[in-house]
DNA sequence: TGCTTTTACGCGCTGCGTAATAATA
DNA sequence: TATTATTACGCAGCGCGTAAAAGCA
């Protein structure tokens, strides 16, 4: 048994039981992958993959168990490498953040600016996607942290830490009649065509739930993954927009008017997620503290160690 | 990086930073061990061991962190092997119990008899030692379970499950004057020379604490690790004995008389301990259930998964 | 002078790539 | 027919053991 064999197993599983793709992803030859897997199966005397003729189509029960261990081994090897880097060149390295457009554009810039000034030797990479893709990137080790509002909790192997709460504003073109209706009500909002986030993004689920709860059927004429796209279409007069308050910029957005809607919707919480069992480079703790000051090193470590859902343990600081 | 290098690191640490001993323990050459460790240090660019001249005398901080990961990797490799055995020959294998004399002699026989009948293909091995040695055997992977009354909890990386409670009897030679004093009191016991367990064994700490709490200074003329040795010396008239109730056999021990002492001492709890993060062969669950019927597979799995001390979670069934 | 680690060196195994074959969809 | 897995084979590299040297207590 050797490490390479375990890497091969993980890659084959991750590539949906395609050994050729697995070989590509590891920059090696496909026969090598097949052979090493066969050797391992022979050594431990049990088939790991279910084959239909010559095709690999799934895992045996034994394979599934072994896969979980193999994953942990491969992760630990990565951890060992990281410890080495941390001690040999603590202020240099790579740092990949998987996040959504809205976070990247509106909530992260301040922390990222401070971070890059503090760690000029760290190569920072932003990877964008929807919350599900983000969680998968993190789980697959393609990112070091994930930041998003939806669906980061309840993903096996990940730990989600609450960062901050936020709520929504309604944005309209200048001179829109809705600006007259004070105070703002859900009914008034539902009377106009609406532009807001896509299903998977930025607390859209809260918006849907709120309308449904009040037995309102809003006319959502356009949904987008991107606050800037929403704002553009609102400017064009396609409808009124519901976006995160942080996405409205009073300086830039002069062709829009804004009405606070915090009283209409439950607040949403943005989470920062980490893979369980990973060694965190020192600068990662620094970044997390820059982004969410209540998440100090001890808090993060405790959350990473605990098996139980960490959200309950962590009080969220008030307001923002 | 390869598995062997990680094994070498673990062995060197376990052998108190003696590379020669580590090589012996792994049945390989000492230069090979040194060289592989050097290669790894070179590869990840950080010293793992602190050297004084040519002697290895300790670990660097980086080394300590890496050691913990290396341990887990080595353990997971072992786990993978076990999964293979479980699925290829589920009713065959090896099973090592680390325990004390008293458990081996008096509490285990029934479960072991049933187990060997159920699993004739499993090679069962009993390893005896004091509770500290037992815990170390388990932690080092030299045993699959540890069973003892003292000091199995509070050992990092181990999970202790309460199995049963028990208490003590006083044994005397036939016709001893203590037999007349009804009911038995601590003061009466303390009036005679006492033979009982060694410091490290079988709830001796409870005995000491009880006497101390009553401001009594018993005259313990002989302590032994072994109930049978204690009984032998009580038969010889050296003193009265305090032993676990289960150690008195009314059929065999005809030259001894017995007085129940449950009302004098707090009960002790015997624990069964497992290493965290280990894959358990199916027959191990069977054995545990035979020995302590309230510890079914789910209970054991939950305890193994949880990071927090498992004892608090587990109710101990009453009496026995 | 022990005992321990490092250096030196050569053999043998094995992992890996290329090429060819077999089997599936 | 296109894609994918297995078999065959040969080279290169590396892990491991033996032997010798170098330091340490």
pLDDT at A88 over 90: yes
Check: CB of residue A87 under 8 Å from CB of residue B61.
Answer: yes
pLDDT at A310 over 50: no
**Closest by Cα among A296, A306, A295 to A161:** A295
Each residue's pLDDT tens digit, A96-134: 999 998 889 888 999 999 999 999 999 999 999 888 889
Residue–nucleotide distance: A89 CA to C7 C1' (Å): 29
Give Cα separations from A119 to A135, A246, B46 (angstroms). Answer: 26, 26, 21
What DSSP assignment string belongs to B82-123? HHHHHHHSTT-EEEEEEE-HHIIIIISHHHHHHHHHH-TTEE
Judge: A69–B87 Cβ closer than 8 Å, yes or no: no
Residue B128, Cβ density class (10 Å: 0-12 exposed, 13-18 middle, ≥19 buried): middle
Judge: B77–A80 Cβ closer than 8 Å, yes or no: no
Closest CA to the C1' of C16: that residue is A32
Closest alpha carbon within chain B to A89: B45
Closest alpha carbon within chain B to A309: B306
pLDDT at position A312, please?
A: 43
pLDDT at A313 over 70: no
**Closest by Cα among B230, B240, B182, B190 to B210:** B190
pLDDT at position B308, please?
A: 54
Going from the first residue of chain B to its last (320 residues), give the mean pLDDT of each consecutive group of 10, the final group possibly shorter. 94 92 93 93 93 90 94 95 94 94 89 94 92 88 90 81 92 87 85 88 85 88 88 89 91 90 90 94 97 95 72 49
pLDDT at position A186, please?
A: 87
Judge: B86–A3 Cβ closer than 8 Å, yes or no: no
Check: CB of residue B11 under 8 Å from CB of residue B24.
Answer: no
pLDDT at position B312, please?
A: 43
Check: CB of residue B230 under 8 Å from CB of residue B197.
Answer: yes
Q: What's the N-to-C CA distance of chain A in angstroms?
A: 52
Q: Which residues pair with A224 in a beta bridge?
A: A197
How many CB atoms neighbour CB A230 within 10 A? 28
pLDDT at position A314, please?
A: 54
User: Which residue in B73, B86, B89, B282 has the most chain A C-beta atoms within 10 A of its own C-beta, making it the best mutation to test that interface?
Assistant: B73
pLDDT at position B311, please?
A: 46
pLDDT at A40 over 80: yes
Closest Cα in chain B, distance from residue A85 (Å): 7
Q: Which nucleotides of D are covered by protein (CB under 7 A)?
A: 3-8, 15-20, 22-25
Check: CB of residue B145 under 8 Å from CB of residue B98.
Answer: yes
Is strand D in 7 Å reach of the CB of A51?
yes
Residue–nucleotide distance: A223 CA to C5 C1' (Å): 69
Residue–nucleotide distance: B200 CA to C5 C1' (Å): 38
pLDDT at position B58, please?
A: 92
pLDDT at position A316, please?
A: 56
Residue–nucleotide distance: A21 CA to C25 C1' (Å): 18
Report the C-alpha gap between A301 and B177 in whole angstroms: 62
State the average pLDDT for chain A: 89
Is strand D in 7 Å reach of the CB of A36?
no
Residue A189, Cβ density class (10 Å: 0-12 exposed, 13-18 middle, ≥19 buried): buried
The token duo for A195 is 């532009």
**In chain A, % of residues over pLDDT 70:** 95
Each residue's pLDDT tens digit, A194-231: 999 988 786 888 998 898 899 988 888 888 888 899 89
What DSSP assignment string belongs to chain A? --HHHHHHHHHHHHTTS-HHHHHHHTTS-HHHHHHHHHHHHHHHTS--EEEETTEEEEE-HHHHHHHHHHHHHHHHHHHHHHHHHHHHSTT-EEEEEEE-HHIIIIISHHHHHHHHHH-TTEEEEEEE--HHHHHHHHHTTS-SEEEESSS-TT-TTEEEEEEEEE-EEEEEETT-GGGGSSS--HHHHHTS-EEEE-TTSTTHHHHHHHHHHTT----EEEEES-HHHHHHHHHTTS-EEEEEGGG--TTT-TTEEEEE-TTTS--EEEEEEEETTPPPPHHHHHHHHHHSTT--HHHHHHHHH-SS-SGGGPPPPS--
pLDDT at position B204, please?
A: 85
Closest alpha carbon within chain A to B66: A80
pLDDT at position B171, please?
A: 92
Phi–psi pair at B98, nearest 5 degrees: -100, 125
Each residue's pLDDT tens digit, B132-166: 889 988 988 899 999 988 777 777 889 999 999 99
pLDDT at position B309, please?
A: 47
Each residue's pLDDT tens digit, A140-176: 889 999 999 877 777 788 999 999 999 999 999 988 8
Q: Cβ contacts (< 8 Å) between A66 and chain B: which residues? A: 80, 83-84
pLDDT at position A309, please?
A: 47
Place of tokens 């004892």: B311
Judge: A83–B72 Cβ closer than 8 Å, yes or no: no
Average pLDDT, integer, range A285-294: 96
pLDDT at position B288, please?
A: 97
Residues with Cβ within 8 Å of residue A298, at least 6 apart in sequence? none
Is strand C in 7 Å reach of the CB of A39?
yes
The token duo for A152 is 């980061």
């Amino acid at each position: 048994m050797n490490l390479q064999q375990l890497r091969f197993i993980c890659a084959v599983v991750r590539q949906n039981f395609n050994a050729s793709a697995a070989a590509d992803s590891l920059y090696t030859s496909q026969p090598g992958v097949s052979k090493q897997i066969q050797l391992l199966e022979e050594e431990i005397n049990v088939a790991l993959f279910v084959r239909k003729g010559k095709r690999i189509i799934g895992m045996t029960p034994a394979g599934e168990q072994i896969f979980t261990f193999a994953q942990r081994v491969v992760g630990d090897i990565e951890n060992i490498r990281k410890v080495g880097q941390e001690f040999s060149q603590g202020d240099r390295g790579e740092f990949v953040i998987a996040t959504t457009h809205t976070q990247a554009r509106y909530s992260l810039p301040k922390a990222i600016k401070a971070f890059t000034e503090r760690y000029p030797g760290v190569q920072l990479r932003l990877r964008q996607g929807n919350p599900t893709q983000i969680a998968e990137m993190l789980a697959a080790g393609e990112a070091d942290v994930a930041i998003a509002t939806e669906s980061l909790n309840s993903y096996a192997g990940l730990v989600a830490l609450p960062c901050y709460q936020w709520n929504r504003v309604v944005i309209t073109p200048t001179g829109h009649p809705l600006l007259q209706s004070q105070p703002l009500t859900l009914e008034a909002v539902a009377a106009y065509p609406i532009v807001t986030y896509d299903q998977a993004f930025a607390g859209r689920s809260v918006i849907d739930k709120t309308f449904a709860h009040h037995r309102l059927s809003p006319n959502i004429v356009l949904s987008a993954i991107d606050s800037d796209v929403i704002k553009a279409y609102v400017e064009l007069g396609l409808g009124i927009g519901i976006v995160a308050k942080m996405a409205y910029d009073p300086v830039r957005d002069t062709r829009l008017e804004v009405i606070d809607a915090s009283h209409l919707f439950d607040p949403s919480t943005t989470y920062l997620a980490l893979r369980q069992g990973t060694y965190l480079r020192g600068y990662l703790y620094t970044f997390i503290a820059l982004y969410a000051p209540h998440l100090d090193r001890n808090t993060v470590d405790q959350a990473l160690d605990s098996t139980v859902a960490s959200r309950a343990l962590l009080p969220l600081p008030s307001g923002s």
